[in-house]
Amino acid sequence: MARYLSIIDSAYRATIEEQDDTAVWFTHAMKNGGADVSILLRGDAVNYAVSNQDAKGVRFGARTVKGPDMVRDIKAVVEKKIPLYAVADDLAERGISISQLIPGVEQIQRRGIAKLIDGHDHILTW
* Chosen residue from 12, 41, 43, 88 binding another protein by CB under 8 A: 43
Q: Residue 123 CB, nearest distance to another protein (Å)?
A: 5
**Dihedral-angle region of residue 99 (phi above 0 means left; psi in -120 to 50 means alpha; beta otherwise):** alpha
Piece of 26-34, 47-55, 58-66, 70-78 that binds another protein (CB under 8 A): 26-34
Rg of the chain over Cα atoms, rounded to whole angstroms, equals 15
9 neighbors 42 (Cβ within 8 angstroms) = yes
User: At 118, phi and psi to the nearest 5?
Assistant: -60, -30
Angstrom distance (rounded) from CA 17 to CA 50 = 21
Least distance in Å: CB of 58 to another protein? 17
Q: In the complex, which residues of this chain contact another protein (CB under 8 A)?
A: 1-2, 4, 7, 9-10, 13-14, 22-23, 26, 29-30, 32-35, 42-43, 110-111, 113-115, 117-118, 120-126
